[in-house]
Structure 1
Amino acid sequence: MPGPRVASDDRVSLRLAESEDIPFLQRASADPDIRYPLGNPVRSREEIDVPGDGDTFVVCLEDDPAASGQPADDELRKIGQVSVMDADYKRPELGYWLVPSVHGEGYGTTAVSLAIDYVFREYDTPAVGAEAFAFNDASRGLLESLGFSEEGRRRKYMFVDGAHRDMVLYGLLRSEWDCA
């Protein structure tokens, strides 16, 4: 069961990841529908730190996201992860994934928006960053729809699906985000 809710709206909540969530979080490195777009290696249970170097959140659908407290297991559906890395010593970098069964339903945009609000609320940082493979049109579209600007490209950055792939770097300034 994920930990306390950090942020929510009427569709999605971000809850702190806890050690009990490791099997779910490990899915990102074991499911090829998630791992290939990420480029992550398969990681063992011991290699997944929760809590780790940063803020790791489980993206959840709840029967009543406005209710306080801890929902029962049957009132909570885990659908992904959002992480905020390096916020304590340089510009925070967002990472995220959702289970394939909810792709295209807008949950990613909502979850990443909640994470951006969290970063600007919790950290005194002028900007937040993210990366997406050049071939990952969905992730790039999500970032661009939220106002991220392309800041650079790491050419032939990682070997994925039999070829070296470019990584596109994105940034969003605090002044560009409506923190209301």
Structure 2
Amino acid sequence: MTGTRTRRQVADEALVRTLFAEHGKAMLAYATRLLGDRAAAEDVVQEALVRAWRNPQRVTDGSRSVRAWLLTVVRNLVVDRARARAARPTEVAESPTTVAVSRDHSTAVVDSIVVREALDGLSPEYREVLEQVYLRGHTVPETAAHLGIPAGTVKSRSHRALRALRESFGSPQPVGAA
């Protein structure tokens, strides 16, 4: 009987429809109150009705209240969900204070090594000027005072050092550079 439904199947379907019509609102309200989530509560009610469909003798035996049995099934399903969630590690949502890693830091490490090697290739006079101005953030007058050289010398050494670094990296000269 593959194409037709048996009397039992029709009766079971009718039973589930009747249960939902009579007890569905109470089941949904109870599940929503327990879970605090309407969509999850609807899933629980659906699962409770599936259990009633699989065990029609529990609903029709008359030994206890049908609504009490259905609400007990709902409560047990909610407890099962809570236990399943507790068994898994807590998922941590990304928050504005915990920013995802935007890129691999190894690139920055390699870049710093390359820059350090390029600086080591400069003469000590050029390297000192660049270290004072760019790494320590000193102004031209502060660098001149620290190194004991005129401000014009700081500017010219800085210019020549940067040009030498560009050449070591293979970068083209800016337009108008001599």
Shorter-chain TM range is under 0.3
TM-score with structure 1 setting the length: 0.24
Whose relative contact order is higher, 1 or 2, with alpha carbons under 8 Å and at least 6 apart? 1
Structure of larger gyration radius: 2
Structure that is richer in helix per residue: 2
Richer in strand (by share): 1
